[in-house]
Amino acid sequence: MATARFIKRHVTKGKTISQSLSDSFGYAQNPIKTRNSELVTAYKCDPKTAVAEFILSKAKYKAITGREQKKDEDVLYYQIRQSFKRGEIDHDTALKIGHDFAMRWTKGKHAFFVVSHVDRPHPHIHIYYNSTVLDCTRKFRDFIGSARAVQRLSDRICYENGLSVIENPKPRSKGKYKHYGEWQEDNMQSKPLTFQERLKMQIDICLAEKPPTMKAFLQSMKLAGYEVKHGRGGVISFRTEGQKGYTRLRASTLGEGYGVEDIQAIIDGRVELLPSRASQAKAQQTTTPTHAPVTPIQQTTTTIPTPKVNLIVDIQTKMRNGKGAAYERWAKIHNLKAMAAALQFLQENDLLEYEQLEQKATDLTDNFHALADKIKSIETAINTNMELKSAMVDYAKTRPVFEGFKAAKYSNKYLAEHNADIQTHRAAQATFKRILAGAKLPKMDTLKNEYKKLAAEKSAAYKSYKATRKSMQDIVTTKANIDHLLGITDVQKNKDVER
């Protein structure tokens, strides 16, 4: 059962930086432990001269940035120790896995070397990577949950290679520090989606809600945090938080099936919505990123985001559509990683039976729709509240003019002079009749308090809505992968769950 430990190394008390590095690296590269240095691999450094290279990089960092930490506080390098169950793999395979681990953890931004030791009955590797990045402008900063992130990446790699992991880890009974299982949560860094991919995914989610009209569909997009812009000729564009420009709703920009006519056809029921189109498009264009939970340079406190589970690719279909051997190789690796992510998701969420997975997907979908309906009803109440307050203000401002109109016995001359104010006053009266339906007009303070309460309810509901939407997307994607693996072809049943 594979375990991993994350360690940051400072200067050894009573020794210089060079002596500290030499002692540690000498232990790591011991010929007896590494089969005469056969079990040593490196990236962007020479293991034999790693001490000098690491020291030189820190000198360059100081010269470039002008920053220098105290000797006893500076992290010289970071070490990751990964151990495997005895008899599962050999030392050479452990070294390959360790090198893959180091590349995925550092994203190729830090020099490192990896050693596999043979002095223990169980295979285990040590990763030593420089705290300073390759261009010597920044340093790796340990962050909250880094040890948990290391263990999660270790588990993911073990799933991909068919190795066992600790499924139900327990905290240590003694000592300040606890086992990584204490931190097991549904978190993992993934490469962020592009704005277009996020838009396509949100379009599919809104269409799955079966909006009756295009107006209802656009309202759902607004609820999801998108700005909607209408242009000439019926052009519709979207923009979300953090996005500078708008993205047009058209097939040439978003891909086939994402034009205004395509969306209208799905809304009208003339065309059926394909399940998880956006996820499939993402799976065809990009590989699954597998780096640690954060980009840990310059960050000391980070909330680790939840994982993104990709749909597996139907390789045979793609090959029939003209894809080549290179795509087939990529797709096999992608599917292996996607299934490893799905397996890890199921175990971490204790979904060990298919019926549990199916029920969870149904519950989350129902909860998602209930929250969406709640938000819509709150927004309707807010709009009514604002309309009523506006009408009260208009009524109060134009009341003296209208009283003068009555005093003038509804004179046409007076009407011509004050037509705008009189029309505003009458519009306010019409609003009162329509909204209140004969009920007593509330006080302005009452309406203001009601607005604050509704705004707070909307904020809380939308927070739950976003969290539930993310959970729903993950579990629906995971279920689709499991269905593909088990050969379940009940399309309508899966479609209902995904909605």
Q: What is the pLDDT of residues 155-169, one digit of tens each?
A: 888 888 888 887 666
Residue 94 has pLDDT above 90, yes or no: yes
Q: Is the distance from CB of 6 to CB of 78 less than 8 angstroms? A: yes
* Mean pLDDT confidence for 263-268: 89
Same domain? 89 vs 214: no
Q: Is residue 112 located within the same domain as residue 224?
A: no
The total number of structural domains in the chain stands at 3
Rounded CA-CA distance 79/128 in Å is 5
CATH of the domain at 133: 3.30.930.30
Q: Do 355 and 281 belong to one domain?
A: no
Q: Is residue 112 part of a domain?
A: yes
In a domain, 58, yes or no: yes
Mean pLDDT in residue range 412-418: 91
Query: In angstroms, rounded to a whole number, what is the distance separating the alpha carbons of residues 100 and 207?
Result: 40
- Mean pLDDT, range 121-128, rounded to an integer: 92
Same domain, 358 and 461: yes
- If asked whether residues 128 and 28 sit together in one domain, one would say yes
**Location of structure tokens 């430990």:** 5
Task: Please give the pLDDT value at position 143.
Answer: 85
Same domain assignment for residues 136 and 213: no
Parallel, antiparallel or unpaired: strands 236-239 and 247-248: antiparallel
- Please, which pLDDT band fits residue 477 given cuts at 50, 70 and 90? confident
**408 falls within a domain:** yes
Separation in Å, CA 239 to CA 221, 224, 231, 322? 10, 11, 14, 34
For residue 459, pLDDT over 80 is answered with yes
User: Domain for residue 166, yes or no?
Assistant: no
Residue 190 counted as domain residue: no
pLDDT at residue 43 tops 90: yes
Percent of the chain with pLDDT over 70: 80
200 with 67, same domain: the answer is no
Q: What is residue 299's predicted lDDT score, i.e. its pLDDT?
A: 33
- Over residues 200-219, mean pLDDT: 86
Q: Say yes or no: 382 and 497 in one domain.
A: yes
Residue that is last in its domain, among 285, 303, 322: 285
Range(s) of the domain holding residue 371: 351-499
Quick check: pTM over 0.85?
no
Answer yes or no: do 201 and 99 share one domain: no
Question: Is 317 domain-assigned?
Answer: no
Residue 304 falls within a domain, yes or no?
A: no
Tell which of 285, 306, 334 closes a domain: 285
Q: Where is the domain boundary, 285, 314, 337?
A: 285
The pLDDT value given to residue 102: 95
* Mean pLDDT within 105-131: 93
Claim to verify: residue 474 and residue 387 sit in the same structural domain: yes
Q: Are residues 117 and 215 in the same domain?
A: no
Q: Is residue 62 part of a domain?
A: yes
Q: 189 pLDDT exceeds 70? A: no
**Domain identity same for 494 and 364:** yes
- CB environment 401-416: b (16+ within 10 A), e (fewer): bbeebeeeeeeeebee
- CA 40, 41, 46: angle at the middle one, nearest 5? 100
Section 396-411 average pLDDT: 91
Top mean pLDDT of 52-56, 170-174, 187-191, 338-342 is at 52-56
